[in-house]
A and B are shown apart, each in its own frame.
Chain A
């Protein structure tokens, strides 16, 4: 059955008819064309479909679109400024070559944005834990952690 839902997607209010059996991943990709949201494991394990729901990272593949009614969603498409300037997390991913095949990248960027939005800084070990809901089969995570450290890093002794 089709149900009408209201969302704020990347800052824009949208009214949508969605199938109640449909995941948020499918709604964002197929109805709104937001293909940065990747379909990986589709079981909440790999993190490729991660979006921010009211500012918190969630696996959109195991979240029904009807549950998101009335909430706010942010995807990678909502990060770039009008002048084309990248989000600091995206820029750091570019500078550290934290991308290989790119499939895990949008999800990791969104978790990175969530971490940056916390306004705090983190040690490398803390960052490892914070990105533990993402699988990357190319990079070995080192450059991803380097990129995150550029923006939100803190050394063990408390210095930046």
Chain B
């Protein structure tokens, strides 16, 4: 038996917000694959759970009139992986969605839960950071939009006002994905049912002749207290020719911008090595996706 005091089922965003307001300390739950484990481990006790798995308005993937891609927060990873919209426009996100847990987990676990749990190891987050995705939050006081780069504030912590707000959608603006190519590389001890030891994502745009970086974003998970971007390295690489020097600049830059720590999963030293190595591999993979050739 789980340590649950009461369970509720919301059928709409409005109902979920009303239930949250009426039950201080209540926890929103969708697929439950993280929340249930927190209860198992005794980290969540005497829980009041508000299920949002039956809220149709936050499920599904759509292409908005302006070309932006909107992913409902309650969309499960399986549906993201199989979505034609996602595979066509942001294949690196489809790939990242398929790195989560196992097939059974991906059938119920949602992208919204992956974000809101605030885990530094969340598989969907590095590529969303590199895509400059935006998050739509609903609250009793109205809706607001937050850049995913501003969302995480610490391990397990986000700007979401607990008990008052609900993540409804993840938006990838058209200008952030059109003409850009991305990659996500996860490192773990095994290929399935694994929490990332480190994750690296790159999203880049090449110049017209495909010999130079017009723009690049680099993001890592488990390389600091939150999933993070490497803004200084990005700025340094912008405009560089696709050469070994560019790769070297990435390797030297990213190491200055991360703050990994020792944990039982891996040492700080190994993570620093992975930051360089996976950063480089993610860069090479994204450049190849974009049709560029790196001249070492």
Binding site for B on A (CB under 8 A): 1, 3, 19-23, 26, 42-45, 47, 50, 53, 56-59, 62-64, 66-67, 69, 111, 129-130, 132-134
Number of residue pairs A-B, CB distance < 8 angstroms: 79
Q: Which of B32, B40, B102 lies at the interface centre, i.e. has the most chain A CB atoms within 10 A of its CB?
A: B102
- Are B108 and A1 interface neighbours, CB within 8 A? no
On whether the beta carbons of B103 and A133 are closer than 8 Å, the reply is yes
Where the two chains meet, the residues of B that have a C-beta atom closer than 8 Å to any C-beta of A are 1-4, 6-7, 9, 32-33, 36-37, 40, 49, 51, 53, 78, 101-105, 107-108, 191-193
Contact present for B32 and A67 (CB under 8 Å): yes
The chain B residue with its CB closest to the CB of A57 is B104
Q: Which residues of A contact B32 (CB under 8 A)?
A: 62-64, 67
Query: Which of A19, A21, A42, A130 is B40 in contact with, Cβ under 8 Å?
Result: A42
The answer for the CA separation of A57 and B76 in the assembled complex, in Å, is: 13
Does B104 lie within 8 Å of A1, measured CB to CB?
A: no
Cβ-defined contact, A57 with B107, below 8 A: yes
**Assembled-state Cα–Cα distance A63/B104 (Å):** 11
Check if B6 sits within 8 Å of A1, measured CB to CB.
Answer: yes
Residues of A within 8 A of B40 (CB): 42-43, 62
Q: Could you tell me if B33 and A44 are in contact, using CB atoms closer than 8 angstroms?
A: yes
B105 touches A133 (CB 8 A): yes
B37 close to A62 (CB less than 8 A): yes
From residue B1, how far is it (CB to closest CB) to chain A in Å?
4
The answer to whether A44 and B104 touch across the interface, beta carbons within 8 angstroms, is yes
B269 to chain A, nearest CB (A): 28
Contact A44 B37 (CB under 8 A): yes
Chain A contacts for B4, CB-based, 8 A = 20-21, 64
Beyond the given A56-B107, A67-B32, could you list 11 further A-B residue pairs with CB under 8 A, ordered by the A residue number? A19-B1, A20-B4, A20-B7, A44-B104, A45-B193, A47-B104, A57-B103, A62-B37, A64-B49, A67-B53, A132-B102
Q: Which residues of B contact A19 (CB under 8 A)?
A: 1
Asked if A58 meets B1 with Cβ closer than 8 Å, knowing A64-B7, A64-B32, the reply is no
A63 to chain B, nearest CB (A): 7
Q: Point out the residue from B3, B9, B78, B102 that lies within 8 Å of A47, measured CB to CB.
A: B102
The answer to whether A59 and B6 touch across the interface, beta carbons within 8 angstroms, is no
Asked if A132 meets B191 with Cβ closer than 8 Å, knowing A20-B7, A50-B104, A59-B105, the reply is: yes
Nearest CB on A from B98, distance (A): 9
A59 to B103, CA, bound (A): 10
Within the complex, the shortest CB–CB distance from B257 to chain A, in Å, comes to 33
B6 touches A133 (CB 8 A): no
